Chains A and B, each alone.
Chain A
Amino acid sequence: MTEVASRTVASVAEALGLTVAGGENHLAVPVTGAQVCDLLSFVISHGRQGHLWITIQTHPNIIAAASLAGLSAIIIASGFEPEDETIDRADEQGIALLTSKDSAYTLAGRVYELGLR
């Protein structure tokens, strides 16, 4: 995988028109790649430091999984909204929580186009 060191969560959020739902103080984190998955066991074992995680899961446990795997941010796709507790935990644990009306498929394509492989 080629890592694009210059990409941060903030620059990806801007390029893709994402809404910041939580963890807004943690947008300067470098992004190294991405995972698209709704299974938590998969993302925690395959996610790598700095990966973005594109998912339609919205419950608070996604924050613990992202934090433990060292992911840079979570993008909730297809217009789903995170639960309030998820937003609180994102702030607490320092994980940027972003949302988009685009599908996971579209988001993955656009992230790939940004040069994140």
Chain B
Amino acid sequence: MDQESSSHHEFPVLGKAYFMGGRASTSVKRVLAAAGVEDEVIQRVSVACYEAEMNVVLHARSGFISLDILPDRIVLEVHDQGPGIEDVDLAMTRGWSSASDEARSLGFGAGMGLPNIKDHADDMRIESTPGRGVSMVLTFFLGDRVHD
């Protein structure tokens, strides 16, 4: 990848459409691969992006994911319109979940999503206004192994 270049991409996410979940993340992975980002970073972004996308699908009405590929890092922003999170610290606790029984029966809502994001991103900022929605900014630093 050209060290001076950067690119911006956006992907919509539809709330409650369980079976559409993962589409935006799959597109993000494809864009990163086309940009020549190293596999280890693509893998981490893919996991975090999928969890963030499913968080929107499971809890919000709608949202979008923006992807910025910068010379030294990848920045993923995930914004949704929905109920938001009352207590972000509690929601970050492994195993804590407010997902519906329907979501749980499909193998979601195990309370692993937000901790998984934190584990896979180099930096995670999450803000929520209850009744409005959730915003996340995730940063992944690129090593010097990124090539054309």
Contacts and interface: CB of A to CB of B under 8 A. Distances in A.
A44 B110 contact: no
Given A44-B51, A59-B106, A61-B18, A68 B26 contact: yes
Contact of B25 (A38, A55, A60, A68): A68
A38 B107 contact: yes
**How would you classify the secondary structure of chain B's contact residues: helix, strand, loop or mixed?**
helix
Interface size class of A (residues with CB under 8 A): 20 to 34
Contacts of A13: none
A103 interface: no
Contacts of A41: 51, 54, 108, 110, 112-113, 116
**How would you classify the secondary structure of chain A's contact residues: helix, strand, loop or mixed?**
helix
Interface in B89-117: 106-108, 110, 112-113, 116
Nearest to B57: A61
Contacts of B3: none
Interface in B15-52: 18-19, 21-23, 25-26, 29, 43, 46-47, 49-51
Contacts of B119: 45
Contacts of B108: 40-41
A39 B110 contact: yes
Interface of A: 38-42, 44-45, 49, 55, 57, 59-65, 67-70, 85, 93
